[in-house]
Amino acid sequence: MRDGRLSCEALMEAMLDRTAAVNGALNAVVSMRDAQELLAEAREADRSEPAGPLHGVPIAIKDLADAKGLPTSQGSPAFAGRIAAADSPHVAALRQAGAIVIGKTNTPEFGLGSHTYNPVHGVTANPYDLSRSCGGSSGGAAVALAAGMLSIADGSDMMGSLRNPAGWNNVYGMRPSWGRVPGGADGDVFLHRLSTNGPMARCPVDLALLLDVMSPPRTGGLPGPAFAPVGALDGDAAGLRVAWLADWDAALPMEDGILSVCEAALDVFGRIGCAVDRPGAPFSRDALWYAWTALRSWSIAADLSEMYEDDALRGHLKPEAIWEVERGRALSALDVHAASCVRSDWLRAADAFFGNFDVLALPTAQVWPFDKTLDWPKSIAGTSMDTYHRWMEVVIPASLLGLPAVAVPAGFGAQGLPMGLQLIGRHGDDAMLLNLAEAYHRETRWPGARPPVP
């Protein structure tokens, strides 16, 4: 586009044509704007000086974030049709960089659960098998990328929501270091540090570009360090030490084939100059789960208690949301403190572990994409799941500490379904992880294995 080989209008036409062809079967993009309005904006972009690195690039915003003039349903009938009066901070940054917002991407109700379905927009299908889940909560974004409707997409990640859908749709997703990408403009900015916005793309170079756009220079005295831009990626990963943690010393149940697909992907890291080792798990699985579930429920209760206390709105909360709110409201201040102490113990253990390794590697999920008519997997390899999110336990080591994690495609299982690999670094190691992902991408090019969507 910068060189004049592609116009903004032609790109918008291609996006509209592709979306019209495949979105009906997939249901990834929702609340789509009028096509003629979008084409008019694209033509105006062609007549204008470039506004930034995303000038004229179509993007759809995850339906948990606000995009001015579009509805933010959060997948809940309570908010269906409610029009956003202003952009969320990262959406404002995308527009300032020249992106054209075309609509929203589908998400689970309130983003709870890694399976994208809700009573407002319905279920989003996996493009590699329309009968399967696409993951979540950034499921619509991942599917739009995999199916060629979008080139870049935003998402958010509390419990793997940028990582699991990336893995299940053969694309890249990144949970940045906590604090790099601004969160909501209102509410608490100190206590509930579990979720973050982040980028998704079909290659690490686009992932890095979008991350830099989404994380403008810090203003307003918000807590946390300033982050340097990632900039261009050189793909140099030689000498990095990778710790393959697999199933956390057999503590995490995994469906057949997941570990073998991921281990084959790890062979690539050896070819690009990394040292891959398989050490023991660095911390107690049960302690991690205890701290995570307490702090997560406490955070969700803070977000949803107003709805819970309103008799009319409470009926719109799905059972999993009510369970989280009631658990969170039952916690005492000392309960939260105890969970935070365990999190602090994990921080110290992780710091010691990173003294010997640069990257921790884990699968992006413990199951393959499941039947999209299910709410969530009730068992894994004969082990019963005692909560709606236990099957995603593999993502919490990074989430609990706000560590950066890049999900890279790992390949395909026996049924032709994708799986991903999490690459986790120290806080602030975002650029290193993206360079590692770029080196891996140059060797594999997995997103080129496009899905057989109609």
Which pLDDT belongs to residue 417?
98
Start-to-end CA distance of the chain, whole Å, equals 28
- pLDDT exceeding 70 applies to what percent of the chain? 98
Spatial distance between the Cα atoms of 300 and 265, rounded to a whole number of angstroms: 35
User: Alpha helices, DSSP H only, in 310-360?
Assistant: 311-314, 319-330, 333-353
Q: Where are the domains of the chain?
A: 8-448
Spatial distance between the Cα atoms of 68 and 66, rounded to a whole number of angstroms: 6
Q: Can you tell me the mean pLDDT for 292-307? A: 97
Are the beta carbons of 39 and 13 closer than 8 angstroms?
Answer: yes
pLDDT in tens, 315-365: 999 999 999 999 999 999 999 999 999 999 999 999 999 999 999 999 999
pLDDT in tens, 31-54: 999 999 999 999 999 999 999 999
Assess whether pLDDT exceeds 60 at residue 110.
yes
User: Alpha helices, DSSP H only, in 192-284?
Assistant: 204-214, 258-271
Q: Residue 62 catalytic?
A: yes
Assess whether pLDDT exceeds 80 at residue 447.
yes
Which pLDDT belongs to residue 188?
79
Q: Read off φ and ψ for residue 312, nearest 5 degrees.
A: -70, -40
Spatial distance between the Cα atoms of 306 and 314, rounded to a whole number of angstroms: 9
Q: Which amino acid is at 164?
A: N
Q: Residue 73 catalytic?
A: no
How confident is residue 183, by pLDDT bands cut at 50, 70 and 90?
confident
CATH number (1.10.10.10, 3.90.420.10, 3.30.300.30, 3.90.1300.10) of 8-448 reads 3.90.1300.10
Spatial distance between the Cα atoms of 31 and 19, rounded to a whole number of angstroms: 13
Spatial distance between the Cα atoms of 50 and 425, rounded to a whole number of angstroms: 34
Lowest mean pLDDT among 206-220, 283-297, 332-346: 206-220
Are the beta carbons of 103 and 30 closer than 8 angstroms?
Answer: yes
Spatial distance between the Cα atoms of 165 and 285, rounded to a whole number of angstroms: 23
Q: In whole numbers, what is the pLDDT of the chain averaged over residues? A: 96
Which pLDDT belongs to residue 216?
81
pLDDT, greater one: 232 or 3: 232
DSSP sequence for 103-157 = EEE---GGG-SSS-EETTTEEPEETTEEEEE--SSSHHHHHHHHTTS-SEEEEEE
One of 73, 88, 114, 161 is an active-site residue; which one?
161
How confident is residue 191, by pLDDT bands cut at 50, 70 and 90?
confident
CA dihedral of residues 179, 227, 137, 295 (deg, nearest 10): -30
Spatial distance between the Cα atoms of 247 and 438, rounded to a whole number of angstroms: 25
The tally of CA atoms less than 13 A away on the side-chain side of residue 317 is 22
Tokens of 258: 């997941």
One of 31, 76, 88, 137 is an active-site residue; which one?
137
Spatial distance between the Cα atoms of 26 and 29, rounded to a whole number of angstroms: 8
Q: Can you tell me the mean pLDDT for 218-240? A: 83
One of 62, 104, 318, 372 is an active-site residue; which one?
62
Element (H, E) at 30: strand 29-30
Assess whether pLDDT exceeds 80 at residue 454.
no
Are the beta carbons of 122 and 31 closer than 8 angstroms?
Answer: no
Q: Residue 161 catalytic?
A: yes
Q: Can you tell me the mean pLDDT for 376-389? A: 97
Q: Name the pTM for this structure.
A: 0.97
